[in-house]
Structure 1
Amino acid sequence: MWPSAGAKLAGRAVPVTVAGGDNLGIHETIPTLQPGDVLVVNGQAATHRALIGELIAGRAMAQGCVGFVLDASVRDAVDLEQMRFPVFARGTTPAGPYRNGPFVGGVAAAVGTVVVHPGDLVLGDDDGVAIVPRVRAAEILVKAEAKHAAETKQRAEIGF
Structure 2
Amino acid sequence: MITNNTQALINRLKTLETAVIADVMVAMGLESQVLAPSFLSLGLDQILIGPAICAKGCVEAGDDAKTTFELDDCVYPGGIVVIDSNNCQKGALIGDNMATSMKNNGAVGFIVDGGIRDAVEFITLELPILYKYKTPINAHKFFSFTHFEVPISIDGIWGSVTINPGDLIIADSDGCSIIPLQHAEQIIADSEVHQQTENNIKLTIKKGETRKNASAKFPRLQHVDKCA
When normalised by structure 1's length, the TM-score is 0.89
Q: 1:25 to 1:105 in 2, by over 3 A?
A: farther
Please, which moves more after superposition, 2-11 or 16-25?
A: 16-25
Q: CA RMSD in A?
A: 2.3
Contact kept? 1:16, 1:42, Cα under 8 Å: yes
* Structure 1 counterpart SS, 2:53: strand
Partner AA of 1:135 in structure 2: Q
Alpha-carbon deviation of 1:122?
Answer: 1.0
In the TM superposition, 1:112-151 aligns within 5 A as: 112=155, 113-151=160-198
> Which structure has more strand as a fraction of its residues?
1
1:159 aligns with 2:211: no
Q: 1:39 to 1:140 in 2, by over 3 A?
A: same
Partner of 1:43: 85
Larger Rg: 2
Partner AA of 2:202 in structure 1: R
1:95 pairs with one of 112, 137, 142: 137
Q: 1:102 to 1:60 in 2, by over 3 A?
A: closer
Partner of 1:18: 57
Q: Following the alignment from structure 1 to structure 2, what is the Cα–Cα distance between the partners of residues 28 and 145?
A: 38
* Structure 2 counterpart SS, 1:19: strand
Partner of 2:121: 79
Between the two proteins, the alignment pairs up a number of residues equal to 160
Q: Following the alignment from structure 2 to structure 1, what is the Cα–Cα distance between the partners of residues 71 and 88?
A: 19
Q: 1:89 to 1:139 in 2, by over 3 A?
A: same
Partner of 1:8: 47
Partner of 1:55: 97
Partner of 1:66: 108
* Structure 1 counterpart SS, 2:90: coil
Q: 1:36 to 1:88 in 2, by over 3 A?
A: same
Contact kept? 2:58, 2:85, Cα under 8 Å: yes
- For residues 72-101 of structure 1, the C-alpha deviation after alignment (integer angstroms, 9 at most, x for no partner) is 110111121222201111111111121663
Gaps of 5+ in 2: 1-39, 208-228
Partner AA of 1:114 in structure 2: V
Q: Following the alignment from structure 2 to structure 1, what is the Cα–Cα distance between the partners of residues 59 and 206?
A: 50
Q: Following the alignment from structure 1 to structure 2, what is the Cα–Cα distance between the partners of residues 89 and 60?
A: 17
When normalised by structure 2's length, the TM-score is 0.64
* Structure 2 counterpart SS, 1:85: coil
Contact kept? 2:164, 2:180, Cα under 8 Å: yes
Percent identical across equivalent pairs? 25
Q: Following the alignment from structure 1 to structure 2, what is the Cα–Cα distance between the partners of residues 7 and 48?
A: 30
Q: Following the alignment from structure 2 to structure 1, what is the Cα–Cα distance between the partners of residues 60 and 41?
A: 20
* Structure 1 counterpart SS, 2:132: strand
